[in-house]
Amino acid sequence: MCMICFTEALSAAPAIQLSCKHVFHAHCCRSVLSKKWPGSRITFSFSRCPICKAELRNEFLDDLSIPIRELFEDVKRKALMRLEYEGLHQTEAISLPGNPFFQNAEGYAMERYAYYVCFRCNKAYYGGEARCEEGLAVEGVGGGGDSFNPSELVCGGCSDVSRAQMCHRHGADYLEYKCRYCCSVAVFFCFGTTHFCNACHEDYRHVTEMPKHALPKCPAGPRGRQLDGDECPLHLVHPPTGEEFALGCGMCRNAHTF
């Protein structure tokens, strides 16, 4: 039985042996690699052997697997750099024996941060912490849904509507925007004018139709929610909710050097 499709015996169609020695239908392997990850956030579990979790490797798959491998390396590099800039490369989650990510900074960084593929430049860009998206999904207020338009996933550099000054150290690769309607890092860029976080994008009609005076003030939560307290989740002073605002270079912002 093919452990990918679970419908036919291996003898029912051409099969290939992967580098991990497990055998699957050739067309099943190509199908899962072609479909890539579910939803908007980049994940790589689809590219792993369903039995041993090793990478799906075979010459017959190279045209699909090599670009995925290159994207993996790009996301890994950016996630590890962000982890270091945030001073978390020696956090207990990595340094304390018994933790799931003990001595696995790569795995921890890629699990902690959410990255997306820019529709315009095809590069991976940062969209906030993954736990925020997962938390919203649990609460039933958006995040992680499959209904999205890939053309609206645009990085800060390609959607620089405010012509923010480019970082002399990192260029446009780490340029980030605030969600227009709350105090979150933006993921989506729509209508050629507006940056949204994941949750506000999923309920864009509600937030875009709110009168300006009814929008929550900082600290503003997704979907028009007013948060308690007076500390901005982004830890900065910014224009009122409802206005576009470039956060600047994410790397330098985390290092407090911009």
Extract the tokens encoding 7: 């419908």
How far is the C-alpha of 33 from the C-alpha of 64, rounded, in Å? 6
Extract the tokens encoding 50: 């369903």
The amino acid sitting at 53 is K
Assess whether the previous peptide bond of 219 is cis (omega < 30° from 0): yes
Contact assessment for residue 25 and residue 10, using Cβ atoms and an 8 Å cutoff: yes
Extract the tokens encoding 174: 């780490």
Pick the closest to residue 4 from 59, 46, 63 (CA basis). Answer: 46
182 is catalytic: no
How far is the C-alpha of 110 from the C-alpha of 131, rounded, in Å? 12
Set 5, 158, 190, 232: catalytic member: 190
Set 2, 29, 49, 132: catalytic member: 132
200 is catalytic: no
Among all residues, which ones are annotated catalytic? 132, 190
